[in-house]
Amino acid sequence: MSEKHSTRVRDILATLTLEEKLAQLVGFWQDEDGDVVAPLQGEVSPHGRLDVASKDGLGHLTRVYGTAPYDPEERAAWLWSEQRRLISETRPGIPAIVHEECLTGLAAWTAATFPTPLAWGASFDPDTVERMAALIGRDMHALGIHQGLAPVLDVVRDPRWGRVDECISEDPYLIGVIGTGFVRGLQSSGVHATVKHFAGYSGSKAGRNFAPVSVGPREFTDVYLLPFEMAIHDGGAKSVLHSYTDVDGVAIAGDRSLLNDLLRDQWGFDGVVVADYFGVAFLHLLHEVAKDRREAAALAINAGIDVELPSGDAYLGPLVEAIEVGEVSLETVDRSVLRVLTQKEELGLLDADFAGDPPTGIDLDSPEHRALALEMAGKSVILLSNNGILPLAPKATGRSIAAIGPNMDRPASMFGCYSYVNHVLAQRPGTPLGFEVPSVVDAIREEFDGTVTMADGCDIDSDDVSRIAEAVAAAKEADVAIIAAGDRAGLFGRGTVGEGCDRDSLELPGVQRRLIEEVLDTGTPVVLVLLTGRPYAIGWALERCAAVLQAFFPGEEGARALARIMSGAINPSGCLPVSMPTSVGAQPYSYLHPPLGIGDAVTVLDGTPTLPFGFGLGYSTFAYSGLEVPDRAPTDGAIQASVKVANTGAAAGEHVVQVYGRVRYASVTRPIAQLLGFTRVSLGPGASATVSFEIPTARLAYSNPDFARVVEPRTVEVWVGTSAERSVEASVVLVGDVHVIGRDSPRLTTAMVS
């Protein structure tokens, strides 16, 4: 593709030496204490003084705030001084892009922490996610941060994989809609979003981190690439970060066909591709497709990786060697430098007065943050079962509650792996969190009158059963037992879920099942609260517990949201963004399977999930009627659908209306259910509304036998309900020629409530 760069940017490029050009293509990352937070970091991240490392200029400053518990204002003053030094003491005189993690909020000390992305998916609410991202971006912009390494657009395929909590869903369309909302929100505040991990990362064999991916080109295109295409096409994402994995033997970091030919030539992406941390060096160290750093640098930059992060392990000296021996052309280097300089121009970093004065008095966890965190958490919690015990009356005289479980009094259980609490502070025991995080038991005591007795019962992930008896005794004396169980998020073996924390079982970690079952044996009604980063096989709990609530790491206000849901102050409305597995043996699983994926008479192993994608209960009931779709619709147009939804219960509530479809008898196998659109509806008791959807036929596109992405003239079954339940259904015939969708084909379903 022909790229457009301003005259100013091209003039700057013409003044730079080779060393100065390469300096624009690398980052610098060093913690003052030299902490190593990831495997191989010590080997591939060079240390030294920033002023020496940046003598020729610098492309990126890596995790200025997000590496250690710095006071934000003090760190901002340091950053402003460093940026001025880059302007005044280096010959190029160009400030650095500052990037940070921001997956659950700005990853900095004292900053608000929102629900994890799997909770975003459970909310089915891209508008609220967009508002959240805009608020995160506003804080980042105020602190001089220019680029956020989020959102994650990987498609969940196997819940054993440790990074499930960073993902949004198993449905690529839901991921694309929610992820696009996040991109739009962050970039509306002047911070560039970085969509990751491009692509296929989550399809790793056996759910193991960094494992190879064996996937056909059709599934890769139609499933794994779709969310990225949407975030770039519809969200205008400015940056892309590559995946660590290889797909069918080709390491993504060296795949020109993906990083250049598809991303730029076909999709028209004109932003910057950055390396995932150490990803260039991993071409040598892990993939072994390069014999040294020089070959790794050549492979990566020729493939289309513009910037090496977090530091310059390969794109400095080794890349110079590659240029000298003719493995990399100067034109290739200039191409990447122009992209980086154009990004800096867009961000205002080339302006003489770009910085101003460092911020003072900034509040990274204001009442506005807390209110939005509570709203997000309230919309994301899923009521999986309820025998009528919920809601509990908040003011019940004389009632006693047994508060049990390893996540009952553990504030960190509210947060995912890439939260600042679990990513950084977990390595620094004794450091205060820096902001208020009520635990579940704190919130229960706030919300409910009566006696609350606390007994944790066991650890998250150990074989110690010595405290179960105490919990059982507390339950016997109580009117109701609330058990908070689940995960501990962490990195590389420091948690039960998180990066590098993969599992070979989908039972709750440690002896938590034994704790829950022994409490159930007392006969006291049990409300089970699951605080997890993945779905677990909990069919046994759904059968025995009075109620089960699923919260995917719901953030700083998550405990209050849970307590208010249990009291009825919030009517739960979250829906499963991933199927609830029956067993580990049924994995990997996706509801987007063809007819051959159903467990039936041809196999003794039934993979049907315990609860389907899209499932979620509330304290009211909703009924559908009058689904209307046209008899025919053009293959190159849209399907107009409408349905009446009524609140048939006694409580006001929000409800997620979900539209699904199934293409019959296509030229390739198609899923038995496919999400086509969704929207939230708020209705009082007895109220009703008509919801209208405009569904682009491109939503039904797939790669045909010739690998063209097409919409074929076929019959499409359409229904409203969940992936597995057809509450009301109809059908439409797509007519016309086979329609090949292009770069500008609409992908987003629109909805209107009247």
Please indicate, yes or no, if residue 635 is contained in any of the structural domains: yes
Give CA torsion, residues 502, 504, 506, 511, to 10 deg: -100
* Nearest alpha-carbon partner for 246 in 303, 302, 176, 328: 303
Look at residue 251 in the predicted model and tell me its pLDDT: 98
603-624 confidence digits (pLDDT tens): 878 888 999 999 999 999 999 9
Please indicate, yes or no, if residue 288 is contained in any of the structural domains: no
Contact status, residue 556 vs residue 373, Cβ threshold 8 Å: yes
Do 493 and 381 share a structural domain?
yes
Domain C-terminal end among 597, 632, 655: 597
Do 399 and 359 share a structural domain?
no
* Nearest alpha-carbon partner for 713 in 740, 738, 694, 746: 738
Do 437 and 389 share a structural domain?
yes
Look at residue 333 in the predicted model and tell me its pLDDT: 98
Look at residue 602 in the predicted model and tell me its pLDDT: 76
Do 415 and 551 share a structural domain?
yes
Look at residue 38 in the predicted model and tell me its pLDDT: 63
In DSSP terms, 653 is beta-bridged to 683
End-to-end CA distance of the chain: 44
- CATH number of the domain that 587 lies in? 3.40.50.1700
Do 434 and 354 share a structural domain?
no
> Residue 95 pLDDT more than 70?
yes
Please indicate, yes or no, if residue 219 is contained in any of the structural domains: no
- CATH number of the domain that 739 lies in? 2.60.40.10
Q: Domain of 333?
A: 1-95+305-364
Look at residue 397 in the predicted model and tell me its pLDDT: 84
Residue appearing with tokens 């010739």? 706
Longest dimension (CA), the chain: 82
Which DSSP symbol is given to 313? Answer: S
Sheet-wide strand order for 688-696: 622-628, 638-647, 688-696, 750-753
Do 647 and 572 share a structural domain?
no
Q: Band the pLDDT of 550: cuts 50, 70, 90.
A: very high
Do 422 and 383 share a structural domain?
yes
Please indicate, yes or no, if residue 249 is contained in any of the structural domains: no
Q: Band the pLDDT of 343: cuts 50, 70, 90.
A: very high
Cα dist. 180→177, 349, 375, 625 in Å?
Answer: 5, 25, 20, 31
Domain C-terminal end among 548, 581, 597: 597
Contact status, residue 629 vs residue 732, Cβ threshold 8 Å: yes
Residue appearing with tokens 């199927």? 579
Do 588 and 513 share a structural domain?
yes
Look at residue 386 in the predicted model and tell me its pLDDT: 98
Mean pLDDT of the chain: 95
Domain C-terminal end among 315, 349, 364: 364
> Residue 707 pLDDT more than 90?
yes
Do 629 and 572 share a structural domain?
no
510-522 confidence digits (pLDDT tens): 999 999 999 999 9
177-191 confidence digits (pLDDT tens): 999 999 999 999 999
User: Which are the contacts of 383, defined by CB distance < 8 A and separation ≥ 6?
Assistant: 390, 547, 548, 549, 565, 572, 574, 616, 617, 618, 619
What pTM value is reported for the model?
0.97
Distance CA 277, CA 200 (A): 17
Q: Band the pLDDT of 224: cuts 50, 70, 90.
A: very high
Contact status, residue 86 vs residue 54, Cβ threshold 8 Å: yes
SS (H, E, C) 14-50: HHCCHHHHHHCCEEECCCCCCCCCCCCHHHHCCCCCH
Look at residue 596 in the predicted model and tell me its pLDDT: 84
Distance CA 380, CA 386 (A): 17
Look at residue 47 in the predicted model and tell me its pLDDT: 59
> Residue 713 pLDDT more than 60?
yes
32-73 confidence digits (pLDDT tens): 454 555 666 666 666 578 888 899 999 999 999 999 999 999
725 burial type by CB count under 10 A (0-12 exposed, 13-18 middle, 19+ buried) = middle
Q: Burial code of 648-670, b = ≥16 C-beta within 10 A, e = fewer?
A: ebeeebbbbbbbbbbbeebeeeb
Residue appearing with tokens 């034109």? 331
Look at residue 43 in the predicted model and tell me its pLDDT: 64
533-543 confidence digits (pLDDT tens): 999 999 999 99
Do 442 and 357 share a structural domain?
no
Please indicate, yes or no, if residue 491 is contained in any of the structural domains: yes
Look at residue 613 in the predicted model and tell me its pLDDT: 98
Please indicate, yes or no, if residue 575 is contained in any of the structural domains: yes
Do 74 and 58 share a structural domain?
yes
> Residue 736 has which token pair?
């016309």
> Residue 702 pLDDT more than 90?
yes
Distance CA 590, CA 581 (A): 10
> Residue 554 pLDDT more than 90?
yes
- Of 45-59, 307-321, 437-451, 521-535, the least confident: 45-59
Please indicate, yes or no, if residue 256 is contained in any of the structural domains: no
Q: How many Cβ atoms are within 10 Å of 635's Cβ, its own excluded?
A: 21
HSE at residue 84, side-chain half, CA atoms within 13 A, is 11
Number of domains in the chain: 3
Which amino acid would we find at residue 185?
G
Look at residue 40 in the predicted model and tell me its pLDDT: 64
* Nearest alpha-carbon partner for 209 in 426, 493, 460, 425: 493
Do 355 and 380 share a structural domain?
no
The SS3 assignment for 301 reads helix
Q: How many Cβ atoms are within 10 Å of 542's Cβ, its own excluded?
A: 15
What would the mean pLDDT of 431-459 be, rounded to a whole number?
Answer: 96
Please indicate, yes or no, if residue 184 is contained in any of the structural domains: no
In DSSP terms, 640 is beta-bridged to 694
Q: How many Cβ atoms are within 10 Å of 750's Cβ, its own excluded?
A: 13
The SS3 assignment for 552 reads strand
What would the mean pLDDT of 724-742 be, rounded to a whole number?
Answer: 96
